[in-house]
Structure formats: structure tokens, C-alpha cells
Structure 1
Amino acid sequence: MFKLLRRTRSKADYTWFLAVREWPVLVSALGVLLGAVTILPSAVGVVISVIALLLGSATFVRDLRNLRRRWSSHDFSLIAAPFPHEAFPPPAAYPDAEYCYLPNRGTALISDGIDGSLRERRFTVRVADEPYRLPPILRATAPHVLPIRARGRLLFNGPVVGMRTEPLPGVGEAEIQLHRARYFDFQCSNELCTMRITNRETGEDLDPRRRLLTDTSGRIVTLAASVLSDVVGISTLAFTTDGLLLLVGQSDRNTASPLLQAPSGSGSLEPRDLTDADGEARETLADVLRAGMEREFCEETGVRPDAIAGTEMTGFARWMERGAKPEFFGLTELSVSSTEIRGTAPRGAERLYSSDVTFLEIDLAALGAELRTGTPILEAPSLPTVIREVGSLPLLLGIRAAARHRTA
């Protein structure tokens, strides 16, 4: 019953999202229906109603043809190749920026300077009054993109939080701008960058990555200059008192890292993370991120919130294959041993996307020392084999950030 209800909700979200964007067709269909059911018994009424029915039918047919023509004029196909990071220089504002390409997982833009700033500088948050809305260029492609993204998956149009500024190094306090969005906005903006669009008539290819992710100089745009929803990704690594790391296996329904090992808690920032239990707005970026990371951890592992001793920020990245969306990483210390929480399992909706919870021993200090000599993370001797073979991009980036933080 649980899976049936979740599938029904996913289908309802999907249908409503498309219906809102194709409302003229629905209005035409309603006109045809009303014309058919309001034919009066009188001769004049019959004539008027028939005329209304014919006009409504003609409009409906025209709209259907326009809709079909609009949907069939382009081919949308998924890009299987890695993100071509060599062709896109990082933003000039990112200090010590470089790309981290992990085969079969993805590509991330990382910056040791931003990582250090995230841990050392105080960033307050300001949430925009108006929620994010797709710009015209993305609204036009939304009805094409969402059916492809939703094919074979369970997607829900839940509330999420996007970001408009980076935690860059500097002196003193700085403000980070956030905005409320919906998950389908992310699917139809950032995830558009996973596709190639081909005009069937001309054969011309359009690469959304070059159009949406770069500025006039060809560099990757900052979040402040982006027109995408840029939903904030959050991941944390949780360690028990006996030094074991909790890992969460991803099910085949997971959209980002199916069948791979994920961090202890991983997902998207949500509006409920912006306020505390009393409804008061959280003031700093660290507090907001910490709340989201710990929430995701408890949902995906089934561990109680009172088992968390604390969480600290360790790093920042942008996931290039997913429209250069922002990703934050943390390190969570638990107040319980692995024996006390062994046998926990994902809760609620997370049961659809997370399969199991396992424990793993990893030496972050040794790994951090290897990384600081220039060893790539997948080649580091201290990286456990299971993570090297089936670790997701957020897990590998989270481990990298935590290991470097431990040896800073």
C-alpha cells in the first residue's frame, strides 16, 4: 500500500506540473466538453450549442496540432559522455579551483579556498521573498524535459532550497542568498544540462551546458549569475564512537546514484531546514546546512536525532553533470557505538531510494596525508576497496573533504 500511495503521488505531481504549463489545451478540451453537454432541446439552442461545439472542437484540434508540432520538432537525448571540463574554465572568483573527474560517477568543481572559507568564515543567510520561477527559455522546454527525466522513476515535486551566492574567502561576515523552489524546477533547469537537443528539420545540435553554464568569456558562471534553480545538495559522513562510518546503499529508484554507496545522509536542502523547532529563522549558513544534513541522516539511517553529538562543515563543490549545482559536505560525530544502532533502516519515503545501512572502517588521517601529496582519491591506498568500486560521487567528495579537513 505504501508503494502504491507513493507512486500515485508521483504521478499526480507529474500530471499537475505539465497541466499548468499546457493549460490552453485543457481549456479547449473543456470548451468542447461544455459544448457537448449543454445542447438544449430547442431548435435555436441546438444551433447555438452546435456552433459553440464546432468552434471549441476547431480550437482544440488546432492546439493539439501546435502541441504535437512543438513536441516533435526536436529530439531530446541523454548525454552519456563525461562533462567536458577541459573546455570550461572555472569561475575567476573561485580560489585554487580545479575539476575532480571520477570515472563512472561524475565531475565536480572543487576549491580548497572555498572549503577553508566555509569552515572559518561566518556566513549569514537571506531567503528571497519570491520563490524561484523558471525563466521563459526553460519554461518552453519543461514539457519536453520532465517526461524524459520521469521515465521509469518516481519523482515528487517537493519543496527544496536553491542558492545564489558562494561562500567565498574574504574578511568579516558575508551574506548568502537562498531561494525556495520545487524539485521539478530543478529537473527542468539544472538537469536539462544532461541532455542534447537536436532540431529535426535542420539537424542542428544545441548543448544546453554551453548556453546555460558559461559566461561571455567561456568560464563557468557563478551561482549569482546562474538562471538555474541550483538546488543545494547536502551530504554528511557519520562516525560512531567506535570509529566506524555509516554508509547508505542506494536503490535502483535513486535518480542520482542508483545502486551505489552514498554518504550517511545525503539529499537536498528543504525549507524546513531554514527554521528551528520554535519556528525561528536560522541565522547562519552553517546552521542551515547542519540541520539539513542531520535531518537527511536520520531519515536515511533510522538513527535517532539524540544520537548526534555534532556536525561540522568540511567542503563545497559543484556537480557539473547536474547543471553545476552546489553541494556541501559535513562530518557528523555520533554519541553511540555501532553496536547500539546496528540494524537501523531508512524511514518514510527514504525506503524507496535507500536500500540498507552498513558500517565501514576508514582511516581519514592516513587518507588525508596521501591526498595532500597529490595522490588522486581513487588511487589512494587508504581508500577502502568498496568505496573505490561502488562509492557515489557525493560519498567520494565527502570523504575527500573530511580527510583533508582532518589533516589541515
Structure 2
Amino acid sequence: MGKLTRRARAKADYFGFLGAREWPLAASGLGVLLGAVTILPSAVGIVLSVVALALGITTFTRDVRLLRRRWAGFEFTAIAAPFPAGDLPPPAAYPPSEYLAVPARGTALVSDAIDRDLWSGQHTITVAEEPYRLPPSLKATAPHVLPLRARGRLLFNGPVVGMHGDPLPAAGARPAPIRLHRARFFDAVCSNELGTLRITRSETGEEYDLRKAELTDSAGALRTLSSSALTDLVGVSTVAFTTDGRLVTVRQSSLNAASGLLLAPSGSGSLEPRDLRTPDGEPRRLLHDAVRAGMERELCEESGLKPEDVRETRLVGFARWMERGAKPEFFGLTELAVDSDEVAGRRPVSGERLYSAGLTLFDVDLAAAGAALATGVPLSEALPRRIWEDGSLPLLLALRAAAAWHARQG
């Protein structure tokens, strides 16, 4: 029943999003319907109803033609080439950063300096009163992009949290609060997720490339999150280890939009408005607290673990996922209070079973991986081969950050 409900909800979200932007067509269709059902058994009533029905059909037909013309006015081409990291330097405001490219998975901007600051930093947050709204340039293509992205997938227009600030180390002073905003998932689909599409207007041949139009600042470098016009929904992922030292991973199903059929972190998803408040309803003031709440929520939903099974979660890393509009991603390391036998028998909550094909546990020596990375060994050699070959980008980045944290603590 849970799967049927989620499928129905996905369809409702999809048609609701499109309907809100194509309401004149819906209104014309309603006029046709009303004209058909209001035919009265009197001569005058019949004449008036027939006239209303004819006008409604004419208007409806015109709107359908206009809609088809507008929907045919854009051509979409997938960008298969790797992200051109060499053409887009990191933001000047960032500490030393580098691009980490993983074949067939994606490219991320990472910074050891930002990660180390997050280990002990106390970034505060503030939440914008007004929800995020797509800028006009992105709103125009939204009705065309969503059907393309939704094809073959189940997408829900659930509430998410976007980020309009960068978690940068502060030089001697307490860092300024990071501004968050409430948004919907389809806002991200129609903004950040355009990073791998080239959009061409059929009539003029004009091309829209999100990487140049939205990710590049006036100096030719990557925009900071504080200057971005995209949704920039906050990704949260954590890698959890059992009491006997085994890593919990989630096997993603083919319906997963970002990492289908790959191994994902123990818990991975997006920060939601409910993560910004404590169980008592009080607002969370620290970025660490909100992000960790999102990580542990996703962990419990995707693995079937319970809150009491979680001993502690630490925030260990940050990155920006370039193919997804350089969206922010936070990574955690979770220590569980249960062993691998206990975890192996768990199942994800009913709503997540469409996306999860089950759990797989691995032996991963974080200390050894961290020591190897510290000496310059590539991530591909520091991690177990199966994880490197089958792991999603969030899993690989989370393990990289967790290994570095573990090595520094040792």
C-alpha cells in the first residue's frame, strides 16, 4: 500500500506543478466541461449552452495549439562530457580547494580547509521568511524540464531547504550566519538539475548552458552559494559504522534519480524544514545541529534503524556537486549502538522501499584509508575496490571526509 500511495503522490505532485503554470489551459478545459453539462431542456438554454460550448472548444483548441508550440520551442541535449573543471576556477573567497572527478559518477569541489573548520566550527543559521522562487529565466523552461526529468522516475515535490551562504572559515571572528531558505524539490529539478542539459530555442538557435549562465561569476570563477540564484538544496549524507566496525551502505534502486543502481551512504538525501527544529519545536541555531538531524533522519528512513540505535553523528565534510548545479553537500560519520547482525535484518521504512534495494555491509578500515590519503594515495586506491567501482559520488565523498577526520584524530 505504501508503494501505491507514493506513486499516486508522485503523479499528483507532477501534474500539480505543471497545472500551476499552465492554468489557462485548465480553465479552458473547464469551460468546455461546463458548457457540456449545463445544456438545459429549453430552446434558449440549449442555444446559449451550445454557443458557450462552441466558444469553450475554440478557446481550448487554441490553447492546446499554443501549448504544443511553446513546448516544441525548446530542444534539450544531454551534456555527456565530464564537467569542465579546468575552465571554472573555485571561488576566490574559498580557501585552497580542488576538484575531485570520479568517472561516471560526477565531479565535486572539495576543500580540506573547509572540512577541518567544520570539525570544530560553530556556524549559525538564519532562515529566510519568504520561500524560494525560481527566477524568470528558469521559470520559463520549468514546464518543459520537469517532464524530461520525470520520465521513468518517481519524483515528489516535497519540502526541502536551500542554502544561500558558504561555510567558510572565519579569520579570527565568528562567522556570519548562513542563510537558508525553504523550497520545493521541483524547484531544484528545474534549476540545479539543469547542469547536464543544454537548452536551445528552436526559433532563434539561442543556447542556454546553466554552467555558463548561472555557475560562472563576472571574473570567470565558480559563483559562491551566497551569490547563486539556484535553489541549491542542501544534500546530507552520513556513513554509519556498526559496533563491530562494519560500514552500512544502501543499494539504490533504478528509480533513484541521482544514483540509480549504485551504493549510497547509510543515509543520504536532502535537508528538510523539519530538520531545522528540535523535537520540542524550537528552532535550531547551529548549522551542525540541523545538518546532523537531517543525516540521522535519512539514516533511519533508508536503513530501518531507530533513533536509539544511533550513538553519535559528527559533521566531517563539505563539497559542491558540480553536475547538480554545484549544490552544497554535507557529510557525516555516524557511530551506531548495534552490531552488523542487527543491522542486516532491518528494512527501510515503507516509503523508501521504492528507492532502496536493501543494505550491504563492508569491512572498511577508516584509519588505514585516512593514513593513505594523507600520504597522497588516490582515493581509488585508498578505498576497497568494490566501493570505488560501485559507490555513488556521495558515498565516496563521505568516506573521504570521514577517513581524513579519523586520521587527524588518531
| TM-score (normalised: structure 1) | 0.95
Match of 2:85 in 1: 85
The 2-side partners of 1:54 and 1:342 are apart by 64
Report the counterpart of residue 117 of structure 2 in structure 1.
117
**Is contact 1:293-1:330 (8 Å) kept?**
yes
CA distance in 2, matches of 1:159, 1:301: 21
Counterpart residue number, 1:302: 304
> Residue 47 and residue 404 in structure 1: after superposition, are their counterparts in 2 closer, same or farther (change >3 A)?
same
Which residue matches 2:68?
68
SS in 2 for 1:318: strand
C-alpha distance in 2 between matches for 1:275 and 1:318: 25
User: How far 1:40 moved relative to its partner?
Assistant: 4.0
Please state how far the C-alpha of 1:86 moved relative to its aligned partner: 1.3
CA contact under 8 A between 1:346 and 1:355: conserved in structure 2?
no
For residue 159 of structure 1, what is the amino acid of its counterpart?
A: P
Deviation at 1:131, TM superposition (A): 1.1
Amino acid at match of 1:190: N
Aligned-partner Cα distance in 1 for 2:342–2:213: 51
Q: Give the secondary structure class of the aligned counterpart of 1:213.
A: coil
Aligned residues of 2:2 and 2:350 also touching (Cα < 8 A): no
- Counterpart in the other structure of 1:289: 291
Amino acid of the residue matched to residue 253 of structure 2? S
Decide whether aligned partners of structure 1 residues 46 and 360 sit closer, same or farther in structure 2, where only a CA change above 3 A counts.
same
Q: 1:218 corresponds to which residue? A: 220
Q: Deviations over 1:266-324 (max 9, x none)?
A: 11111111111111111100000111101111111111211111111111001011111
Residue 228 of structure 1 aligns to a residue whose secondary structure is coil
Trace 1:175-186 onto structure 2 (pairs within 5 A): 175-186=177-188
Q: Deviations over 1:42-77 (max 9, x none)?
A: 444444444433333332222222111111022123
Counterpart position of 2:404: 404
Checking the alignment, whether the CA contact within 8 Å between 2:100 and 2:107 is kept in structure 1 is yes
| Secondary structure in structure 2 of the residue aligned to 1:254 | coil
After TM superposition, the structure 1 stretch with the greater mean CA deviation from structure 2, 55-64 or 114-123, is: 55-64
CA contact (8 A) 1:94 1:113 kept: no
Q: Is 1:275 equivalent to 2:284 in the alignment?
A: no
Q: Which moved more, 1:198-207 or 1:150-159?
A: 198-207
Report if aligned partners of 1:123, 1:286 keep a CA contact under 8 Å in 2: yes
Cα separation, 2, equivalents of 1:231 and 1:207: 20
Q: Match for 1:192: what amino acid?
A: L
Contact 2:250 2:263 in 1 (8 A): yes
Query: Could you tell me which residue of structure 2 aligns to residue 160 of structure 1?
Result: 160
What is the DSSP-based 3-state SS (H/G/I as helix, E as strand, rest coil) of the residue aligned with 2:129?
coil
Q: 180, 188, 209: which is aligned to 2:211?
A: 209
User: Matches of 2:6 and 2:168 in 1, distance apart?
Assistant: 40
Q: Match for residue 53 of structure 2?
A: 53
Is 1:104 the counterpart of 2:104? The answer is yes
Q: Secondary structure at the match of 2:182?
A: strand
Contact 1:122 1:174 in 2 (8 A): no
Relative distance call for 1:98 and 1:56 in structure 2 (3 A) is same
Query: 5 Å matches for 1:384-403?
Result: 384-403=384-403
Give the equivalent residue in structure 2 for 1:190: 192
**What code does the residue aligned with 2:345 have?**
G
Q: 1:204 and 1:131, CA in 2 relative to 1: closer, same or farther beyond 3 A?
A: closer
Question: Secondary structure in 2 aligned to 1:174?
Answer: coil
- The whole-number CA distance in structure 2 between the counterparts of 1:58 and 1:347 is 49
Counterpart in 1 of 2:375? 373
Identity of aligned residues (%): 63
Aligned partner letter, 2:63:
D
Letter in 2 for 1:10: A
Partner residue, 2:32: 32
C-alpha distance in 2 between matches for 1:37 and 1:85: 60
Q: Secondary structure at the match of 2:221?
A: coil
The alignment partner of 1:395 has SS state of: helix
Q: Which residue of 1 aligns with 2:343?
A: 341
> How far off is 1:202 after superposition?
4.1
SS of the residue 2:357 aligns to? strand
Which deviates more, 169-178 or 309-318? 169-178
C-alpha distance in 2, partners of 1:193/1:27?
34
Q: 2:321 maps to what in 1?
A: 319
1:60-110 per-residue CA deviation (whole Å, 9 max, x = no partner) reads 222222111111022123222221111111111111111100001000011
- What is the rounded CA distance, in whole Å, between the counterparts of 2:127 and 2:364 in structure 1? 38
User: Cα offset for 1:215?
Assistant: 1.4
> SS at the partner of 1:64?
helix
Q: Would you say 1:200 and 2:187 are equivalent positions?
A: no
Worse overlay, 38-47 or 302-311: 38-47
Q: Does structure 1 conserve the Cα–Cα contact (< 8 Å) formed by 2:163 and 2:233?
A: yes
Q: Letter of the aligned partner of 2:328 in structure 1?
A: P
Cα offset for 1:248?
A: 1.1
Query: Using the alignment, how far apart are the partners of 1:341 and 1:348 within structure 2?
Result: 17
Distance 1:308 1:145 in 2: 39
C-alpha displacement of 1:204? 4.1
The alpha-carbon deviation at position 173 of structure 1 amounts to: 4.4
What residue in structure 1 maps to residue 359 of structure 2?
A: 357
For these two proteins, the number of residue pairs brought into alignment is 406
Match in the other structure for 1:5:
5
Q: CA contact under 8 A between 2:300 and 2:306: conserved in structure 1?
A: yes
Structure 2: how far apart are the matches of 1:111 and 1:304? 33
**Which residue identity does 1:140 align to in structure 2?**
A
Amino acid of the structure 2 residue aligned with 1:76: F
8 Å contact kept, 1:76–1:144: no
Consecutive unaligned residues of structure 1, counting only runs of 5 or more, are none
What residue identity is the alignment partner of 2:288? A
